[in-house]
A and B are shown apart, each in its own frame.
Chain A
Amino acid sequence: MTAEGESERKPSGQRPSVFLERQSYRRRRLTDAARLLPFLGAALFALPLLWPGLSAEGQAVPLSSAMFYIFACWGGLILVGLIFGMAARRLRTRDESETEADQWRR
């Protein structure tokens, strides 16, 4: 009985619209991706450990290739970080303006 009473009391306007939910969903997934990024970075930077060194049989990896790999990974991380930063700011500002509009509507 109480449950019914509560659901009756709750005004229907409090339920966020599908659009807003989708927004915050996107933002959460973006945060997830940003959190996973360091692990990707660590894995990429750990990869050279598998390369054959000077002591190993056969040809060691030339330093220029090694440099290219490291700096490419590094640059990639920076780029993805930049994209995340920009996307996060855009989503946040849009979100803020929307909640404001929401308050007015209410």
Chain B
Amino acid sequence: MATLNILILVCLGYVVLLFGVAFAADRMAAAGRGKWLRSPLVYTLSLSIYCTAWTFYGAVGNAARSGLEFVTIYLGPTLVMVSWWWGLRKLVRVGRSQRVTSIADLLSSRYGKSNTLAVCVTILAVLGGTPYIALQLQSITLSFSIFAEADPSGLYREGSSVFWVATGLAVFAILFGTRNLDANERHHGVVTAIALESVVKLFALLAVGVFVVWGVAGGMSPMMDRIDASEIGRWNVDAGRWTTLIFLSAAAFVCLPRMFQVMIVENDDEGHLRMAAWAFPLYLLLMSLFVVPIAVVGLDLLPEGSNPDLFVLTVPLSQGNDWLAMLSFIGGFSSATSMVIVTAMALSTMVSNHVVMPIWLNTQEGLGSISGDVRNIVLMARRVSIAVIMALGYFYYSLSGGGTALSSIGLVAFAGISQILPALVGGLFWRGATRTGALVGLTVGFVLWTYTLLLPGMGGVWMPETVMQNGLFGLGWLRPQALFGIEGMDPMVHTVMWSLSLNTVAFCITSLFSFPSPLERLQGAQFVNVFDHSATPRGWTGSVAQSEDLMIMTQRILGAGPAQEFFQTEAEQQGGRSRLPEPTPGFLNRLERELSGSVGAATAHAMIGQIVGGSSVSVEDLLAVADESAQLLEYSSQLEVKSAELSRTARKLREANTKLTQISEQKDSFLSQVSHELRTPMTSIRAFSEIMRDTKGLRGTEQTRYAAIIHDEALRLTRLLDDLLDLSVLESGQVSLNVGDDSLRSVLDRAVSSALAGTDEKLAVRRSRASERIPLHTDLDRLGQVFINLISNAQKYCESPDPILTISAHDVGGRVVIDFTDNGSGIPPEAQSMVFEKFARVGVDKAGGAGLGLAICREIMQRLGGEISYLPGQGGGAFRVSLPLAYQQAAQ
């Protein structure tokens, strides 16, 4: 029989072991050794402080009362861990990039470093945490009392044992939780001790389970039969409670200060989550694997009325297996101590950073009067906070006297702390969430939780029976467990449903209607888009004179050594010769982060603000920046318009220049062509006239021949000059048109007869006279000139042995189209574009005219409002003349 004394000895030995482990781990971490301290395995094991004495003992009790319902408490966290990609990853990243020290700090930092919010969360956490700590003390005491009953010789007094347990835990938390000030530095000692404790409690529970299944029940299948035969042997779980408890435990898993401490603050590496995502659910599964068998065997073996919360201890004891009972006691002890230590650490950080330090800073007027080492004050505040929190837990336990079922207190705490969830999730995923919204939501949730769950649970003076029956002020719809007249719900489901839903609604609506401060909006963007930018956009501005003040203040908080080192590094990075760095915005941001690791974001912000003179980011600044950029945008758009205009003008100039160059070239070539054309007949005229003048005795026939040549050449010259004159008159637009009426047929008749008159070369002209009966109102002589030109061209250039010219006319929608097609070889493609140019002749050998005919035709047709063009692909040379039926002045 294990006596109480042995138990106490084992207990003390275990505590000494824990101290040793924590001390060694701290030493190793300080020496830079022990990489395994930062391994994902240790991280995962440290998460298991979720399993407190409540789950160690209480789960079996819960299973004995309501079957499988206990498993909900583990399923919620399992789902949270499995969905780490959605939420935890972001939470950890935010926690690391903002150097948050607690969940209160996280919310305060998100909502514009509001200390009010931090204080609210702290109060909520302390209120929820105190009963929870009391619960752990109670479980240790209860387990002690089990052994005390079995050992009547021992001198056991319940009150004193609780006191000494509380004191011991406080000492441990103070020793290892407040060694270093920077809460953001990992507490390797504590974390390692917790990891060890989690192994111990898992081992203990598994050992009891194995003993029960194989030692007592005799194997798996007899055990299963026994389970089905027991009083809890049928699936009987209230659907509302099942869903609510899974949700509640998931919410609490994220929001509980101690979970936040180990999961976010003590996290070394985001990658650890990847292992924890499956390993922690596995841990939970193992923890709950043997709960039902232990409960069933306990119900079978132990007398009616024994406390099912302690079956883990009493079942081995009743079987006379004292050492197993001892192991199980150590397991429960581990669960309780690890939870209490971490909770005390987390809560004390919150209390000292958000309550004590702001008050203390306010009592000091200005920075100049801050005397002494702030560091010591912060540490002292934290130590005192731990002691106070433990004392609160102790008094709560003494006042309530224990007795309530373990799991109900735990659930009350869960429901309380879950009120943070809307503000937390909203802050992480919704940029529109505001500080006012968070405050209102928290308040609504807190009030409802207190009124519907906390106070009715305490009963007595706190919640008189009349209020329970008739509601507050006699209003029936305000009954604490039947709000708005909806009765018959399980109290837990009722509270969670109303408080969280109204909390969320209030948070969302107030956020929608309120407007956040600039700092809040910047922080909101930082949190929601943490994966896009992990740097801070907010800025400080300061002058060099303030660096010294900053140095003095930092020394007081971080201690002289670290502060000097930090400033030295910064100064080196800035490359200055001075030992003090310039207070650039970047430096001030880093300093603020560094300080916030020690005293919390809100306090650090306020302290730097005191020296540098307020946040440099104001609405006016933001507006000024916005104005400036708007002006820049406008200016640049103006520039763009102007440059587009310039490039348009330049293009036009270029085009005009090209045209001018072309015209100049045309003029040059025209002049040279004209002089060439004039020179040929002139040369022959001069030559023959010189012969006639200088040669004596010319015969009459010769004289006549030469004179005829001279006459012909003169005629040719005259014709050329006539053409040129005609062309220049036409081109200059000074021509006066002689408009008359006639049919196309008669115009063509005249043109054909005059073109073919007096030539030897035969050309057959084919016409369809019927289609030519088209009346025309235009300058008939000029049009005839064009036709004559085209017919004589065909006559001159058609190489066919039997030249045929086909003339066809159509009336196409108010225009008459006349095609002149011969059966020759046509004009080669490369020359087609040139035929209408002046002096353009196809084939040099057939020099007939000056090459002005078609140019004149084109000009005439333009004057008449029509056009002349070459038709390729007609089997021979083909020209198309088109002109309006009635000449109109406007057609020019």
Contacts and interface: CB of A to CB of B under 8 A. Distances in A.
B281 A74 contact: yes
A64 B71 CA distance: 14
A38 B82 contact: yes
A63 interface: yes
A41 B81 CA distance: 11
Nearest to A50: B239
Interface residues of B, number: 36
Nearest to A52: B235
B234 A62 contact: yes
A54 interface: yes
Contact of A70 (B71, B227, B228, B282): B71
Given A45-B246, A71-B285, A89-B274, A64 B224 contact: yes
Contacts of A60: 234-236
27 contacts: A37-B83, A38-B82, A41-B79, A41-B82, A45-B79, A45-B246, A46-B243, A54-B236, A60-B235, A60-B236, A61-B234, A62-B235, A63-B67, A63-B233, A66-B235, A70-B68, A74-B75, A74-B78, A74-B281, A77-B281, A78-B282, A81-B81, A81-B82, A81-B281, A85-B275, A85-B278, A89-B274
B79 A81 contact: no
Nearest to A88: B274
A21 to B, nearest CB: 22
A61 B235 contact: yes
B115 to A, nearest CB: 35
Interface of B: 67-68, 71, 75, 78-79, 81-83, 85-86, 224-225, 227-228, 230, 232-237, 239, 242-243, 246, 271, 274-275, 277-278, 281-282, 285, 289, 292
A31 B85 contact: yes
Interface of A: 31, 34-35, 37-38, 41-42, 45-46, 48-49, 51, 53-54, 60-67, 70-71, 74-75, 77-79, 81-82, 84-85, 88-89
B83 A38 contact: yes
Contacts of B243: 46, 49
A89 B269 CA distance: 14
Given A49-B243, A64-B225, A74-B281, 20 more contacts: A31-B85, A34-B85, A35-B85, A35-B86, A37-B82, A37-B83, A38-B79, A38-B83, A60-B236, A62-B227, A62-B228, A62-B235, A64-B224, A66-B235, A67-B227, A71-B285, A78-B285, A81-B82, A82-B278, A85-B274
Highest count of chain B CB atoms <10 Å: which of A53, A61, A75, A89? A53
Contacts of B224: 64
Nearest to B242: A49
B contacts with A: majority SS: helix
Contacts of B78: 41, 74, 77
Contacts of B275: 85
A62 B227 CA distance: 9
Given A41-B78, A45-B79, A49-B242, A63 B274 contact: no
A35 B87 CA distance: 10
Give 9 nearest A-B pairs by CB, closest first.
Answer: A38-B83, A81-B278, A61-B235, A60-B234, A82-B278, A64-B224, A54-B236, A66-B235, A62-B228
A31 B278 CA distance: 15
Nearest to A49: B239
Contacts of B85: 31, 34-35
Given A74-B78, A77-B82, A89-B274, A63 B235 contact: yes
Highest count of chain B CB atoms <10 Å: which of A45, A51, A81? A81
Given A54-B234, A71-B289, A75-B285, A81 B277 contact: yes
Contacts of A82: 278
Nearest to B83: A38
A62 B232 CA distance: 9
Nearest to A67: B292
B227 A63 contact: yes
A49 B235 CA distance: 10
A85 B278 CA distance: 8
A84 to B, nearest CB: 8
A35 B67 contact: no
A85 B273 CA distance: 9
A85 B289 CA distance: 24
B644 to A, nearest CB: 13
Contacts of A41: 78-79, 82
A31 B306 CA distance: 50
Contact of B227 (A51, A64, A74, A88): A64
Contacts of A49: 239, 242-243
Nearest to A65: B235
A35 B234 contact: no
Given A34-B85, A71-B285, A85-B275, A64 B228 contact: yes
Nearest to B230: A63
Contact of A78 (B232, B278, B292): B278
A74 B67 CA distance: 17
B155 to A, nearest CB: 43
Nearest to A83: B278
B425 to A, nearest CB: 14
Given A85-B275, A89-B274, A38 B86 contact: yes
Contacts of B79: 38, 41-42, 45
Nearest to A89: B274
A21 B225 CA distance: 55
A53 B237 contact: yes
A67 B71 CA distance: 10
Contacts of A88: 274
A64 to B, nearest CB: 4
Contacts of B236: 53-54, 60
